[in-house]
Amino acid sequence: MPFSEPGKTKFQVDLRRHLRNQGICDNLIHLICEIAEAGKYVINAVRTGDLGVAGTSNLYGEEQLALDVLSDRIIRKRLIHSGVVCNIASEEMDEIFQAQADADGLYSVAYDPLDGSSLVDVNLAVGTIVSIYEGCNLLQKGRNQVAALYILYGPRVSLVYSVGKGVHEFTMNHLMEYTLSRENIVMKPEGDMYSPGGLRNKYQEGTEKFVRYLEEKGAKLRYSGGFVPDINQVIMKGKGIFMYPALNGSPNGKLRLLFELNPMAFLVENAGGAATDGKQSILDLEPQSLDHRAPVYIGCKAEVAKAMEFVSGN
């Protein structure tokens, strides 16, 4: 049920109140609210923290920024103290961290604490991405997620979540409270916008043909280089497609299934869109490891179907 009728003065609906209306259990409400709270410390770090390198690298050999390490610590601490989390995996940690052993009534969380962190020093938008499962198993299909969310740190801070019953956006107000700004977001079946990741001269033939098809039909190129703002644009405008395809030399593209693709695919599918690796739905992929990567085409249903047509010939 909508919280306000058109034409009537809107009262502010906060995140916890909205979650209570979703018919989910108290532990999950508590967990999502704890993650939202952690986001307030992450945005503070993004706005004022050290922009230097941490002197360490992550599991993928990428140099960690001080902000990556700090954001990871902020979120991990909050998850551990929530008391409702069993296993934790982060893009910045080498292995799964066990917060509690017993799976009963607990959740496991995979997250990317500060996706696109290298964009902070040029003042572009970045975000936190979170995927939540029941029990202790983190290596399962994305379709089994019970919730997914991202927090976007842009000119405004917004949090977009789904527990499988619609996709909802909250915007941080001057008191740092998350208040409902869009409810039950629904994407259009197709749209005239595309966000192409990766070097074009490394695109495989099918992807190159797909991009030419998009250009010929007049689609606008809109790519910031930050996965969270780029996906947020597709969901909020309700149109277009984001892709990070297989590249010559990188057949699995760049983006990680657990930390990036599954949570975003869950959100986009719940908003009426689709996400594929070119052959099957992202949410049906069986993760082989924490580092599982896959090509992705994600956005409006018709565009994603068209992408599959083109790249299946790759």
Residue 103 CB, shortest distance to ligand F6P, in Å, is: 30
CB count in 10 Å sphere of residue 57: 11
Report the Cα–Cα distance between both ends of the chain, in Å, rounded: 45
Contact 167, 181 (CB under 8 A): no
Among 13-21, 96-104, 157-165, 220-228, which window interacts with ligand F6P (CB under 6 A)? 220-228
Could you write out the three-class secondary structure of 19-33?
A: HHCCCCCHHHHHHHH
Contact 104, 120 (CB under 8 A): no
Cβ nearer to ligand F6P, comparing 255 with 308: 255
Residue 287 CB, shortest distance to ligand F6P, in Å, is: 17
Cβ nearer to ligand F6P, comparing 255 with 283: 255
Contact 227, 115 (CB under 8 A): yes
Residue 227 CB, shortest distance to ligand F6P, in Å, is: 3
By CB under 6 A, name the one of 34, 35, 45, 116 that touches ligand F6P: 116
d(CA 115, CA 262): 14
- How many binding residues for ligand F6P (CB under 6 A)? 9
113 binds ligand F6P (CB under 6 A): no
226 binds ligand F6P (CB under 6 A): yes
3-state DSSP: the chain helix, strand, coil percent, rounded to 5? 35, 25, 40
Residue 12 CB, shortest distance to ligand F6P, in Å, is: 31
DSSP three-state, residue 68: helix
190 binds ligand F6P (CB under 6 A): no
227 binds ligand F6P (CB under 6 A): yes
Residue 98, sorted as left (phi over 0), alpha (psi -120 to 50) or beta, turns out to be: beta
Cβ nearer to ligand F6P, comparing 163 with 255: 255
Contact map string, positions 134 to 153, toward ligand F6P, x by CB under 6 A: --------------------
115 binds ligand F6P (CB under 6 A): yes
Given the rule CB under 6 A, which residues bind ligand F6P?
115-116, 197-198, 225-227, 254-255
